[in-house]
Amino acid sequence: MTMQTALAPTDCPILQADGWPGCEAAFETALSRQWGVTLPATVGDWIATTEARILRLAPRRFWWIGDGPMTPASLDGAGTLTPLAEGRVAFQLDGPAARARLSEFIAVDWDEIACRPGRAVLAGIHRIPVCVLRLAPERFQLIAPRTFARSIAELL
């Protein structure tokens, strides 16, 4: 089996949105309006737009993954935006062997409904926090902290 891996990681700019407790509805309304999308409903779901992938990372935390406006803007007092333009990189893993390669480092049951395409998982490689987006049955985007990029590339 073969796998194509972009061992040279690419920049992965992120804009993080956090909502305040008790303001969930107002937060999501404001964010949805600002980003022009219907936000993913379930933690771990992500959707794709022409500009970015939008991931619901936690009950009150979203990631805009992609280029776009990084300037924090108003969320009507219901939340905050934190630009994470430079701290992460992305590896692309494609092909029939991609699942097998990932299983060498992270314990995720890719057969589970929770891990189907359109879902993301937070996991750890040697306790490095990584986020893996399943783009297709055999396509994965692995997002890792920039300072670990070289180490992860060597490992992959």
Does 134 help bind another protein (rule: CB under 8 A)? Answer: no
Whole-angstrom distance, CA of residue 93 vs CA of residue 78: 37
Q: Nearer Cβ to another protein, position 38 or 77?
A: 77
Does 145 help bind another protein (rule: CB under 8 A)? Answer: yes
Of 8, 42, 50, 111, the one binding another protein (CB under 8 A) is 111
Of 1, 73, 126, 137, the one binding another protein (CB under 8 A) is 126
CA distances from 30 to 40, 73, 75, 78, 81 (A): 14, 10, 5, 8, 12
Does 82 help bind another protein (rule: CB under 8 A)? Answer: yes
Contact between residue 107 and residue 121 where contact means Cβ atoms under 8 Å apart: no
Does 151 help bind another protein (rule: CB under 8 A)? Answer: yes
**Strand stretches in the chain, DSSP E:** 4-5, 10-11, 14-19, 46-48, 53-58, 61-65, 79-84, 88-94, 120-125, 128-136, 139-145
| Shortest CB 19 distance to another protein, Å | 9
Does 8 help bind another protein (rule: CB under 8 A)? Answer: no
Whole-angstrom distance, CA of residue 57 vs CA of residue 18: 10
Does 148 help bind another protein (rule: CB under 8 A)? Answer: yes
Site of interaction with another protein (CB under 8 A): 11, 16, 18, 20-23, 61, 77, 79-80, 82, 84-88, 100, 103-104, 106-109, 111-112, 125-128, 145-152, 154-155
